[in-house]
Structure 1
Amino acid sequence: MLAQFLYVGAQVGVWSFTIRLAMQMGGMNERSASWFLLTTFAAYFVGKMVANLLMRKMSPAKVLAIYGVLAIVLLAYTILVPNISAVYAAVGVSIFLGPCWPTIYGLTIDGLGEDTGVGGSLLVMSIVGGGVMPIFQGLLSDATGGNMQIAYIVPLLCFVAIVAYAIKCMRDPLPAQAPAGAVTAS
């Protein structure tokens, strides 16, 4: 649940602050900066399609880990490079958001057996991260004099946790569930 909470928080944070970042880094007005936000949606779609193709050859956990690491790299660039290219990096993060929600969902409910309904419901409720994490991003920006670049540390840290979850899923795959009513040895 934490991985899903943090993913939704990271996605909303990256998208919610794209226009402010573009205005700050590119010295442009809101209308011009909105182009960057529109571009994030196209990047998201492309990243999702590529991830779907990759998951035919690799495990979903591995794709999630790779995408997460690449998102971290782009977020670090966004934070550290003080020019308009940081905005392009922030837009590029959207490429690596595409597979996260369904992949985290699938990895989490896999093997829950009879508890799949409850687990799935809890995962859906974790979208509240999209209302929580951007608050921290805004507070960090305010605490640093409105520095939007520094605020992108919040989604970066979210992706560190997501990558850790993906690695855990690769190392410790869940055992297959026994059919309902089956007797298993303890």
Structure 2
Amino acid sequence: MAVSGSADLSQFKAQSDSGQSYNFTLVVLTSLFFMWGFIACLNDILIPHLKNVFSLNYTQAMLIQFCFFSAYFIVSMPAAALIKKVGYKFGIVSGLSIAGIGCVLFYPAAGAQSYPLFLFALFVLASGITCLQVSANPYVASLGRAETASSRLNLTQAFNSLGTTVAPFFGGLFILSAVSLGAEQIAQLSVAEQAAAKLQEAQAVQIPYLVLAGILFGLAAIFTFLKLPKIESIETDDSCADAVSLKEQPSAWKTPHLMLGALGIFVYVGAEVSIGSFLISFLGEDNIAGLAEAQAANYIAYYWGGAMVGRFIGAALMRFVAANKILTVNAISAVILLIVAITSSGQVAMWAILSVGLCNSIMFPTIFTLAVNRLGKATGQGSGILCLSIAGGALIPLLQGVLADAIGIQMAFVLPVMCYLYIMFYGVKGSRIGLQ
């Protein structure tokens, strides 16, 4: 069977005992998508900031993304087990609470000027975000008709992108702008003055992350008292019954298009995170834009803002155009833009790399829904596997950091090029393997 622009998620149904509409529930859930997009994007600000504070190379600085996104691999399955036990609603509450604790840990990490403690705080924070991801993605997909699942996920992911668009301004204003001296200026100070300056820089993150902790705890309290529709598994409908019976249904691990989709999520998240992680440093290069860190932070909004605009457009297009075709076109466009960024300089290179965000727009929710297409009762397991694959955001930026230290930051973008080439393959063929 050919894959259309939607996933077969009819094995879920949403019931509202309280009479609340699905529209209200979707509105409430968008706050979660906004928050984890906002928090994840702040890593792009933390990387150059902590790189200066602790005098790190690119590889060491990318441990920020490694610790943050490795939580998806380590915590996804335990989070899925927790949600199975306590339900989606309290899975969300748990995730918000854990993320809040992670934000609070930034305070002692800054006070102690401990990079390992910063990394631990990021892991705890990401563990909470992982619980939210595992809860919210399938929950949103199930709230409504299966034929519009891709559209709903694209729409809510658009608000995720709104969070990533706002975050650079927040981080640039309250974190990077608080830094009065550059790395070269600090190097000219005495040992005691250097220690005082770096302590001041480290402490610049304390208040912003305490504010985030307060917001997360507040959301946890709100969700505790909200009455949300329940999700119950039901039998697959006739459109799935002809593919495989419930008794004969294989494990999601043995489904080719899902496993290829998992790799697609892995390389997509890795590429998107890698590009965002290096943007401030890339735009600071003399042959690109020569921007100061606080100025470059504002331009990150164009990268993530492009993803936001594209997701709103994608939410509409998915109703008329096959998702795999849109995915293919976007992947090809991303490859072309990255090649331009690698081989050119100045404004051309700068806007080429920033424009990749528009190409990223529909990739995660589209790969997600294509990958869980026709999984039937194995959809929950498939969702967990896909969430595990978000660990690409841990490994690929780290590898690009190694490349940047070895061959330079501009040439290191060849790694995301390879990632988008695979996504192009998945759109053309991989998403249909095993479904014909």
Contact 2:282 2:409 in 1 (8 A): yes
* Pair 1:27-2:290 in alignment: yes
* Pair 1:50-2:316 in alignment: no
In structure 2, the partner of 1:90 is: 353
Aligned mates of 2:359, 2:280 — CA distance in 1: 19
Deviations 1:128-162 (A, max 9, x none): 10011001111111111xx2211111111100001
Unpaired segments of 5 or more residues in structure 1? 176-186
Contact 2:268 2:419 in 1 (8 A): yes
Letter of the structure 1 residue corresponding to residue 411 of structure 2: I
Deviations 1:62-120 (A, max 9, x none): 00001111111111111111223211111100001111111101000101122111111
Aligned mates of 2:298, 2:434 — CA distance in 1: 41
Contact 2:370 2:431 in 1 (8 A): no
In structure 1, the partner of 2:3 is: none
Letter of the structure 2 residue corresponding to residue 76 of structure 1: I
Letter of the structure 2 residue corresponding to residue 9 of structure 1: G
Aligned mates of 1:162, 1:171 — CA distance in 2: 13
Task: List aligned pairs for 1:63-102, cutoff 5 A.
Answer: 63-102=326-365
Letter of the structure 2 residue corresponding to residue 105 of structure 1: F
Alignment equivalent of 1:133, drawn from 388, 391, 396? 396
Question: Which shows bigger deviation, 19-28 or 50-59?
Answer: 50-59
TM, length-normalised to structure 1: 0.88
Unpaired segments of 5 or more residues in structure 2? 1-261
* Pair 1:114-2:377 in alignment: yes
Distance apart, 1:172 and its partner CA: 4.7
Aligned mates of 1:84, 1:69 — CA distance in 2: 22
Number of aligned residues: 173
Aligned mates of 1:56, 1:7 — CA distance in 2: 23
Larger RCO (alpha carbons 8 Å, 6+ apart): 1
* Pair 1:162-2:423 in alignment: yes
Distance apart, 1:3 and its partner CA: 0.5
Contact 1:18 1:87 in 2 (8 A): no
SS in 1 for 2:361: coil
Contact 1:5 1:126 in 2 (8 A): yes
Which consecutive segments of 4 or more residues in structure 1 shift more than 4 A?
A: 169-173
Contact 1:47 1:96 in 2 (8 A): yes
Cα pair distance change 1:128/1:171, threshold 3 Å: closer
Distance apart, 1:174 and its partner CA: 2.0
Letter of the structure 2 residue corresponding to residue 57 of structure 1: F
Aligned mates of 2:310, 2:336 — CA distance in 1: 16
Letter of the structure 2 residue corresponding to residue 107 of structure 1: L
Matched residues, percent identical? Answer: 32
Aligned mates of 2:340, 2:293 — CA distance in 1: 23
